[in-house]
Chains A and B, each alone.
Chain A
Amino acid sequence: MKIDRRSFLGLGLGAAAGVALSPVGVKLTDDSSIWTQNWPWTPVPEDGKITYDRSVCSLCPGACGISVKKINGRPVKIEGLDDYPINNGGACPHGISGLQYLYDPARIKTPLKKNGNKFEKISWDEAISLVAQKLGEIRKSGTPESLGLITGADSGSMAQLFERFMDAFGSPNTYNMPSLESNLALTAAALHGADRNLGFDLDHSDFILSFGAAIIEGWGSPVACIQANASRRERKAKLVQVDYRLSNTANAADKIIAVKPGTEADLALGICAVLLAKNLIAGDVNTSAFAAMLAKEYTPEKVEAITGVKAADMEALAMEFIKAKAPVAVPGKGRGDVGQSLREFAAVQALNALADRLNKKGGVFVMYPADYLSFSENVMDDAAKQGASKAKLAGSVNELVDKLEKDGGLSALFIYNANPCYALNNPEKVKVAMDKVGFKVSFSSFMDETALRSDVVLPASIFLERLEDVVSGGGLAKTVVGLCRPMVKPIFDTKHPGDALILLAQAMGDSIAQSFSWNSYDACLEQVTGKIWDTLSGDGYVVIDDKPPVGTPATDFTFLASAPKAAVPMGEGDYTLVPVDKMRLAVGSMISSPFAVKIISDKVLSGKYSVVEINPATAGILKDGDIAVLKTAMGKALVKIGFNEGIMPGVIGMPRGLGHAFNNPYVAGKGVNVNDLIGPVIEPGSGLDAAFGIKATLSKA
């Protein structure tokens, strides 16, 4: 008997039939199909108990209450907090993407020390002793005033802690980064008296005259303002936007008053002149020198020549403003932080004063800052008393940059919640100025442009990892103190900047240590918030005040009566380049998150190019979509042209917030930093950088 082909065939067929009729076929098919749906490289988030925790967002001065959804204690979503008096459940794209800041591997994970060109990781003990040692040397050399501080914190316990340190150390050289808050404080000081601030009661106004303020694009407390705008239809409240381009706010407004960029103050003064001439002002406002100046310099014809607004239109606007039941004028182009002048803010505030809108419902509140913190007496030794009483090196942070760049003057610098090497105009000069400072300590959470140039980094935990008081500000009419609470323990080896400061102070010993005798920042906060701590920690917020302040403050028009001059865009060129604020692009010390960068329109960021808006009427040979060379007295950059009918001819609008230069491919290396192209123009008297724009040329690349 031979085993031949047929038997093998039989064997094969038998096997096949056996397998086919066995469960193997069915089971393997099912198993394989399941296997194809196993995607082991795809994360499977762990499930668990859902809890909601409340905190306050600290990314921008808006101070919105947030609710953080957690799964088994792991934060997975941030939303607005419904019962929070500032934002009433609303949130902005940046706050919602807060978790991206928390978990970003680009965060600075440990303290760092600069070694040549690179950073090396060090422990907190090493870092604190290194900084304490360097600062100790400065004190020993008898020049404690050569320690400087550039801070972005305008209020709250952290701002006061840093000031306390500077005092105990013996230096007066604290400089605040420009912000709407500080601009408003400066205005209130110039017109009404020191130690005051301004709050705009937009929710109750029936006629909002906004001088370029990006009310629904990030001005002030963004969500609160968006909500004030959203309720206008029901409240029958009118919004008139003074603007040089069709911003989103201008688009939402009932009427647009087109003005040449940088002439908003002139229009405000022109309206003041109309009201004074027609004697429609509040009776008890002392205005003689001011009135005389206005009658001379701000006749309707003169204003028309400056701003481009027809005399008749301006008069009609003035009449509409004064006849409204509860009008209010709002200052601050765009977000109202940089490129602003005291002249402009004062002019708009003068209009509010003349129209008797001070401390009235729906008007502007002249407020005292929230006084809920009580620190014990600072312990200052003789060296500290002497140093702290010396004159400051400069009047403002921009003037400081000037001074440092020319002559130096600081031997050490703290940078907290600020990014001057990006956010100030002419960052190159800022970098040179900073290089003149021997020892720089950054408290940044991310390796931004300024941290890159520091000598030591004491990385701060971000707000989701911190306990801290967050005060409302930025032009909000109500005063609310919220408690930002930690949602998780610090993910990396970072510390609350308050703790870092306390450790540093204690390492320095003597009077400085005595001034900082708390065990921790958390203990300090509980102590200094004294009376309100129980409510603050229980409810999560305390409404200090939400009513118009009692009485009408006096207004001193001296500053305006001296007819301060407007800032003139420097340089030469056919165009005026003006930075444009976009809601989706963060500015200042905040860097846009990957989600925020993702939602930037391709008409704002096209590939790697910033898109500049120009009116097709003045585009010359340039076409929509062309790559062009944008040149100013400060430098040049490649940009993409985007035609926009809605921008005044002869003006180039360039988005702020792009062009970050550090190692993070998700959010940096895209577009151009418009600050690189604009040079500061210091306003005499206020020290503000009033450069709202600069002359520019465009040529095809």
Chain B
Amino acid sequence: MVIDLDKCTGCGACMVSCMSENNVPFKEDESDKKLSITWMRVYKLTNGKSFPEAEIVYLPRPCQHCGGIGDHGHSPCVSVCPATATDYGYDTGIVSQIYTRCFGCRYCMGACPYHARHFNWWDPKWPEGMENYLSPNVSPRMRGVVEKCSFCYHRYQLAREQAIVEDREIEEKEYQTACTTACPAGAIVFGDLNNPAHKVHQIVKPDPHPDPMNHKVVGKSRNPKVFRLLERLGTNPKVYYMSDREWVRKAGDNYLKGEWENVKTHHGASSSHG
């Protein structure tokens, strides 16, 4: 997935679409954002300057579906789950979350550097009658279970069924996440990062080799405008961000003095690198 931060208006349509698609509950009081379950969350960042140099960026953050160090499938959350309730799918690169296996130890929540996981402290409760809009494609959860963005995997399952019955491959437009289709500004682009025909690959141009400057990192973008959150950790997320603005790209990590200069000019290796 690649999200164009210059197009994002912060409207929150992605957040609502995700909640509606995935049977995410809502409480009477959602003002404590630590407890509010929003698989997709739009953060507001500023450049720290005063008016009139002040600038804002809205950053939508779904689960990053990390590939882990070296992109070998050891996502931080997958590595710590004692119940294998979460697992890395090598076929799709999507990190699954199976609610019936999770017993709510929340170790994964601690491990995730992106705060992408949410815990059901209470049983989800829908006002009488509202359960009618729940989708059968996603399992409703009980209390004590962790949930997170699944890249709308159920849509992939359904798209595959149609493709199988028609004896063909899935087309790019057939599997799109709820947030992607909702975004009125078209800021989110979703597809197969490894497929050169897909738009997301054409924008991101991920480098399949490990970054020579940091071997933990694989799939770094060759597009100078594209970056990933906390890239140097080596989580190797599937979600890329794009911005013309340098301060936004710099906001993708915590840089100590002098560190940004190195990163700024070093993008995914060109094909001449090994």
**Complex contact flag A–B (Cβ < 8 Å):** yes
* Cα–Cα, bound, A74→B27 (Å): 24
Of A91-99, A115-123, A499-507, A544-552, the segment with at least 4 beta carbons within 8 Å of chain B is A91-99
Q: Quote the shortest CB–CB distance from A662 to chain B (angstroms).
A: 14
Q: Is A251 an interface residue (CB 8 A)?
A: yes
By a CB distance below 8 angstroms, the chain A residues around B182 are: 79-80, 90-91, 96
Contact of B26 among A47, A48, A256, A594 (CB under 8 A): A594
Q: Is A601 an interface residue (CB 8 A)?
A: yes
* Cα–Cα, bound, A552→B228 (Å): 51
Contact of B130 among A37, A100, A256 (CB under 8 A): A100
By a CB distance below 8 angstroms, the chain A residues around B256 are: none
List A residues 587-603 near B (Cβ within 8 Å): 594-603
Kindly supply a per-residue 1/0 record for chain A positions 675-697, scoring 1 wherever the CB is within 8 Å of any chain B CB and 0 otherwise.
Answer: 00000000000000000000000
By a CB distance below 8 angstroms, the chain B residues around A47 are: 136
List B residues 1-39 near A (Cβ within 8 Å): 6-7, 9-13, 15-17, 19-21, 23, 26-33, 36, 38
* Cα–Cα, bound, A645→B124 (Å): 38
Q: Of B19, B124, B133, which is in contact with the most chain A CB atoms at under 10 Å from its CB?
A: B133
Kindly supply a per-residue 1/0 record for chain A positions 73-105, scoring 1 wherever the CB is within 8 Å of any chain B CB and 0 otherwise.
Answer: 011111110000001011111101101101111
Q: Quote the shortest CB–CB distance from A489 to chain B (angstroms).
A: 13
By a CB distance below 8 angstroms, the chain A residues around B33 are: 602
Contact of A226 among B28, B36, B185 (CB under 8 A): B185
* Cα–Cα, bound, A602→B181 (Å): 26
Assess whether A217 is in contact with B26, with CB atoms less than 8 Å apart. no
Q: Quote the shortest CB–CB distance from A256 to chain B (angstroms).
A: 6
Q: Is A130 an interface residue (CB 8 A)?
A: no
Contact of A80 among B42, B158, B181 (CB under 8 A): B181
* Cα–Cα, bound, A71→B51 (Å): 50
By a CB distance below 8 angstroms, the chain B residues around A666 are: 26, 28, 127
Assess whether B31 is in contact with A606, with CB atoms less than 8 Å apart. yes
Contact of A615 among B9, B51, B129, B184 (CB under 8 A): B51
Kindly supply a per-residue 1/0 record for chain B positions 131-173, scoring 1 wherever the CB is within 8 Å of any chain A CB and 0 otherwise.
Answer: 1111110001110000000000000001000000000000000
In the complex formed, the residue of A with least CB distance to B55 is A251
Q: From known contacts A230-B185, A584-B12, infer whether A595 and B19 are also in contact, taking CB-CB under 8 Å.
A: yes
By a CB distance below 8 angstroms, the chain B residues around A646 are: 51, 54, 56
Assess whether B184 is in contact with A597, with CB atoms less than 8 Å apart. no
* Cα–Cα, bound, A602→B158 (Å): 37
* Cα–Cα, bound, A605→B15 (Å): 17
Q: Secondary structure of the B side of the interface?
A: loop
Q: From known contacts A91-B184, A246-B56, infer whether A78 and B142 are also in contact, taking CB-CB under 8 Å.
A: no
Q: Is A177 an interface residue (CB 8 A)?
A: no
Q: Is B262 an interface residue (CB 8 A)?
A: no
Q: Of A48, A595, A606, A608, which is in contact with the most chain B CB atoms at under 10 Å from its CB?
A: A595
By a CB distance below 8 angstroms, the chain A residues around B178 are: 77, 79
By a CB distance below 8 angstroms, the chain A residues around B56 are: 246, 248, 251, 646
Assess whether A103 is in contact with B187, with CB atoms less than 8 Å apart. no
Assess whether B142 is in contact with A39, with CB atoms less than 8 Å apart. yes
Assess whether A90 is in contact with B186, with CB atoms less than 8 Å apart. yes
Q: Is A8 an interface residue (CB 8 A)?
A: no
Assess whether B10 is in contact with A645, with CB atoms less than 8 Å apart. no
Assess whether A45 is in contact with B184, with CB atoms less than 8 Å apart. no
Contact of A42 among B36, B124, B136, B158 (CB under 8 A): B124
By a CB distance below 8 angstroms, the chain A residues around B141 are: 42
Assess whether A79 is in contact with B17, with CB atoms less than 8 Å apart. yes
Q: Quote the shortest CB–CB distance from A94 to chain B (angstroms).
A: 8
Q: Is A491 an interface residue (CB 8 A)?
A: yes
By a CB distance below 8 angstroms, the chain A residues around B6 are: 233
Q: Is A292 an interface residue (CB 8 A)?
A: no
Assess whether A103 is in contact with B132, with CB atoms less than 8 Å apart. yes
* Cα–Cα, bound, A332→B211 (Å): 51
In the complex formed, the residue of B with least CB distance to A251 is B56
Contact of B134 among A43, A91, A595, A598 (CB under 8 A): A43
In the complex formed, the residue of A with least CB distance to B244 is A233
Assess whether B44 is in contact with A96, with CB atoms less than 8 Å apart. no
By a CB distance below 8 angstroms, the chain A residues around B58 are: 248
Q: Is B272 an interface residue (CB 8 A)?
A: no
Assess whether A599 is in contact with B38, with CB atoms less than 8 Å apart. yes
In the complex formed, the residue of B with least CB distance to A92 is B13
Interface size for chain A: under 10, 10 to 19, 20 to 34, or 35 or more residues?
35 or more
Q: Of A94, A227, A594, A670, which is in contact with the most chain B CB atoms at under 10 Å from its CB?
A: A594
Assess whether A97 is in contact with B16, with CB atoms less than 8 Å apart. yes
Assess whether A105 is in contact with B140, with CB atoms less than 8 Å apart. no
List A residues 244-299 near B (Cβ within 8 Å): 246, 248, 251-252, 256, 258
* Cα–Cα, bound, A41→B42 (Å): 31
Assess whether B30 is in contact with A230, with CB atoms less than 8 Å apart. no
* Cα–Cα, bound, A97→B100 (Å): 28
List A residues 199-223 near B (Cβ within 8 Å): 216-217, 222-223
Q: Is B274 an interface residue (CB 8 A)?
A: no
Assess whether B55 is in contact with A96, with CB atoms less than 8 Å apart. no
Assess whether A602 is in contact with B136, with CB atoms less than 8 Å apart. no
Contact of B140 among A43, A96, A100, A256 (CB under 8 A): A43
Q: Is A377 an interface residue (CB 8 A)?
A: no
List A residues 605-640 near B (Cβ within 8 Å): 605-608, 615
Assess whether B16 is in contact with A595, with CB atoms less than 8 Å apart. yes
In the complex formed, the residue of B with least CB distance to A218 is B11
Q: Quote the shortest CB–CB distance from B147 to chain A (angstroms).
A: 13
By a CB distance below 8 angstroms, the chain A residues around B134 are: 43, 45, 76
Assess whether A227 is in contact with B186, with CB atoms less than 8 Å apart. yes
Assess whether A229 is in contact with B9, with CB atoms less than 8 Å apart. yes
Q: Quote the shortest CB–CB distance from B77 to chain A (angstroms).
A: 21
In the complex formed, the residue of B with least CB distance to A78 is B20
By a CB distance below 8 angstroms, the chain B residues around A77 are: 20-21, 133, 135, 178
In the complex formed, the residue of B with least CB distance to A606 is B31
Assess whether B44 is in contact with A105, with CB atoms less than 8 Å apart. no
Assess whether A45 is in contact with B140, with CB atoms less than 8 Å apart. yes
By a CB distance below 8 angstroms, the chain B residues around A46 are: 136
Assess whether B54 is in contact with A645, with CB atoms less than 8 Å apart. yes
Q: Is B258 an interface residue (CB 8 A)?
A: no
Assess whether B17 is in contact with A230, with CB atoms less than 8 Å apart. no
Q: Of A46, A97, A648, which is in contact with the most chain B CB atoms at under 10 Å from its CB?
A: A97
Q: Is A106 an interface residue (CB 8 A)?
A: yes
Contact of A216 among B9, B51, B130, B186 (CB under 8 A): B9
Q: Quote the shortest CB–CB distance from B119 to chain A (angstroms).
A: 16
Q: Which 10 residue pairs are nearest across A and B when measured between Cβ atoms?
A: A90-B184, A47-B136, A45-B134, A230-B185, A93-B16, A99-B133, A216-B9, A45-B136, A39-B142, A665-B28
Q: A77-B21, A104-B127, A598-B26 are in contact. List 6 more A-B contacts (CB 8 A).
A: A43-B131, A96-B182, A103-B130, A248-B10, A646-B54, A648-B51
A-B contact pairs, 21 of them (CB 8 A): A41-B123, A42-B124, A45-B134, A77-B21, A77-B133, A79-B178, A87-B184, A91-B13, A94-B16, A100-B130, A105-B127, A230-B184, A246-B56, A248-B56, A258-B51, A583-B9, A602-B33, A607-B29, A607-B31, A645-B49, A646-B56
Residues of B within 8 A of A (CB): 6-7, 9-13, 15-17, 19-21, 23, 26-33, 36, 38, 42, 44, 46, 49-52, 54-56, 58, 100, 123-124, 126-136, 140-142, 158, 178, 181-187
